[in-house]
């Protein structure tokens, strides 16, 4: 018996056999009975395939398993069912490939040609088909997995890789590019995007702050009119109405600086946002009392500023001798906190309560006095112009 063992591409063994006397084998491709020598292939699924010499010469070989077949494509029927395509170009993997694991844990098998040439995700560096990557305004392309896990920059709306920036007491994240190059909103400190506004006096205001702007004297007076009864109820003593005027940054700073320089005839207390920009001022010159409020404040900030300045006016009316900074400013901040909280104007309260400067400390001192001794304790401290010893250590 003639028997040769051959290896096809190292994948499948096939055997050339002499026709056995008792059997009449059929060719698995042409379905005809076989006379003489024929080949027997071991198929990937373990089955055997007889192939006559004519089919062996004429049939196309499967590019994957090298077994002759009569299918229309390059693969035999079995390989068509089981072959694994490259996860980028969808071509059947015949040569070497590289296995990746996607950020979500799924396996991702890529042919070497795609490993070399396909577009990759900016974050995980895995090659993807172009339609599975999304391009972002900052020029990077990301796979859906990485993009969904990353924080999105509030400025350029691109996912952020690596370091991100936040603004204290504000929600949102920014990429280094946006954070370092964009101007900051005058009110909230968030980096501006193209949708912000530039006010005539030079202030830059982000869209969120601008969208609630309180513009013009009428609206400011309307808020003052609503603050007054709440304040009287909170403090138990009335406030004689004080004229309120709306000003721009330049005028406000002129008044504030001027007030700071003048002698005892002028008494100016400012509502702070930071060291450099004031939002409002209460001043007394002789018998003239006046509140100045910066125009176009975001609504919650307008409430807070108006309440703060009206608290100064109230204190000047009832406890004019009180001048200790922690009491004067702590009281104004505490009144503003109470009123904004009651009126549902809460977007600035986190900052008011937790700011780390002298205004934040002054607020915490007065709030602690109230907690221990009630509003009466605050009245007593203002009357005596003295912070009880137990509260002086508060930071
Ligand atoms: Zn045949
Ligand atoms: Zn095959
Ligand atoms: Zn490929
Ligand atoms: Zn990715
Ligand atoms: Zn950005
Ligand atoms: Zn803003
Ligand atoms: Zn103040």
Same domain, 123 and 171: no
Q: Which residues pair with 49 in a beta bridge?
A: 41
Same domain, 236 and 367: yes
Q: pLDDT digits over 3-43, tens only?
A: 333 333 334 446 665 555 456 789 999 999 998 899 999 98
User: How far does the centroid of ligand 1 lie from the alpha carbon of residue 67, in Å?
Assistant: 13
Ligand nearest to C-alpha 59: 1
Question: How many domains does the chain divide into?
Answer: 4
User: How far does the centroid of ligand 4 lie from the alpha carbon of residue 195, in Å?
Assistant: 30
Which residues are in the CB-under-5-Å shell of ion ligand 2?
Answer: 62, 64-65, 76, 79
Does residue 89 sit within a domain? no
Q: pLDDT digits over 233-291, tens only?
A: 999 999 999 999 999 988 888 887 765 443 444 567 777 665 446 899 998 888 889 99
Q: Which residues pair with 4 in a beta bridge?
A: 16
Residue with tokens 């990301």: 142
Ligand nearest to C-alpha 43: 2
- Looking at residue 46, its pLDDT comes to 85
Same domain, 228 and 183: no
- Looking at residue 92, its pLDDT comes to 86
Same domain, 267 and 189: no
Contact of 146 with 159, CB cutoff 8 Å: yes
Contact of 367 with 391, CB cutoff 8 Å: no
In this predicted structure, the answer to whether residue 152 has a pLDDT above a threshold of 90 is: yes
Of 177, 193, 209, the residue that ends a domain is: 209
Tell me which residue of 289, 270, 383, 394 sits closest to 333, measured CA to CA. 270
Same domain, 310 and 370: yes
- Looking at residue 2, its pLDDT comes to 33
Same domain, 221 and 203: no
User: How far does the centroid of ligand 7 lie from the alpha carbon of residue 64, in Å?
Assistant: 81
- Looking at residue 9, its pLDDT comes to 37
Same domain, 108 and 186: no
Q: Which domain holds residue 189?
A: 164-209
In this predicted structure, the answer to whether residue 154 has a pLDDT above a threshold of 70 is: yes
Does residue 159 sit within a domain? no
User: How far does the centroid of ligand 3 lie from the alpha carbon of residue 108, in Å?
Assistant: 11
Does residue 88 sit within a domain? no
- Looking at residue 15, its pLDDT comes to 61
Does residue 304 sit within a domain? yes
User: How far does the centroid of ligand 7 lie from the alpha carbon of residue 38, in Å?
Assistant: 102
Contact of 252 with 269, CB cutoff 8 Å: no
In this predicted structure, the answer to whether residue 390 has a pLDDT above a threshold of 90 is: yes
- Looking at residue 118, its pLDDT comes to 96
Same domain, 263 and 355: yes
Same domain, 321 and 175: no
Does residue 298 sit within a domain? yes
Tell me which residue of 90, 86, 93, 82 sits closest to 109, measured CA to CA. 86
Residues 6+ apart with CB under 8 A from 47: none
Contact of 79 with 57, CB cutoff 8 Å: no
Residues 6+ apart with CB under 8 A from 97: 86, 109, 110, 111, 112, 115
Q: pLDDT digits over 163-204, tens only?
A: 999 998 888 999 998 999 988 998 888 998 888 888 888 888
Does residue 154 sit within a domain? no
Does residue 92 sit within a domain? no
Same domain, 231 and 333: yes
Q: pLDDT digits over 138-149, tens only?
A: 999 999 999 999
Same domain, 235 and 340: yes
Of 34, 54, 82, the residue that ends a domain is: 82
Q: What's the N-to-C CA distance of the chain in angstroms?
A: 101
Ligand nearest to C-alpha 101: 4
Same domain, 234 and 197: no
- Looking at residue 266, its pLDDT comes to 55
- Looking at residue 21, its pLDDT comes to 47
Does residue 157 sit within a domain? no
Q: Torsion-angle region of residue 324: left (phi > 0), alpha (psi -120 to 50) or beta?
A: beta
- Cα distance between residue 361 and residue 168, in whole Å: 17
In this predicted structure, the answer to whether residue 134 has a pLDDT above a threshold of 70 is: yes
- Looking at residue 14, its pLDDT comes to 61
């Amino acid at each position: 018996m003639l028997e040769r063992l051959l290896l096809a591409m190292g994948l499948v063994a096939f055997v050339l056999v002499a026709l056995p006397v008792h059997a009449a084998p059929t060719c698995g491709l042409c379905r005809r009975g076989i006379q003489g020598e024929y080949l027997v292939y071991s198929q990937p699924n373990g089955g055997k395939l007889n192939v006559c010499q004519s089919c062996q010469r004429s049939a196309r070989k499967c590019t994957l398993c090298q077994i002759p077949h009569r299918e229309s494509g390059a693969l035999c029927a079995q390989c068509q069912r089981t072959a694994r395509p490259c996860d980028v170009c969808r071509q059947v993997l015949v040569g070497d490939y590289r296995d990746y694991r996607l950020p979500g844990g799924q396996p991702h098998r890529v042919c070497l040609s795609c490993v070399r040439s396909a577009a990759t995700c900016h974050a995980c560096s895995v090659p993807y088909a172009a339609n599975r990557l999304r391009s972002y305004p900052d020029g990077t392309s990301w796979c859906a997995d990485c993009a969904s896990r990353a924080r999105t920059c509030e400025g350029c709306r691109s996912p952020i890789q690596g370091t991100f920036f936040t603004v204290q007491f504000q929600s949102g994240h920014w990429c280094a590019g946006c954070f370092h190059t964009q101007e900051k909103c005058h009110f909230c400190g968030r980096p501006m995007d193209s949708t912000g506004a530039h006010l005539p006096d030079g202030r830059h205001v982000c869209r969120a702050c601008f969208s609630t702007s309180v513009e013009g004297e009428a609206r400011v007076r309307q808020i003052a009119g609503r603050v007054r009864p709440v304040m009287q109820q909170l403090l138990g003593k009335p406030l004689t109405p004080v004229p309120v005027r709306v000003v721009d940054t330049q005028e406000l700073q002129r008044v504030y600086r001027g007030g700071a320089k003048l002698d005892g005839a002028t008494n100016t207390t400012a509502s702070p946002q930071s060291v450099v920009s004031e939002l409002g001022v209460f001043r007394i010159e002789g018998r003239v009392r006046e509140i100045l409020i910066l125009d176009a404040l975001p609504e919650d900030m307008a409430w807070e500023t108006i309440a703060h300045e009206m608290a100064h006016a109230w204190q000047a009316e009832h406890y004019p001798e009180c001048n200790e900074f922690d009491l004067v400013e702590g009281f104004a901040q505490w009144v503003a906190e109470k009123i904004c909280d009651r009126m549902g104007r809460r977007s600035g309260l986190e900052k008011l309560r937790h700011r780390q400067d002298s205004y934040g400390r002054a607020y915490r001192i007065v709030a602690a006095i109230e907690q221990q001794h009630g509003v009466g304790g605050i009245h007593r401290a203002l009357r005596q112009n003295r912070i009880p010893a137990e509260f002086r250590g508060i930071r």
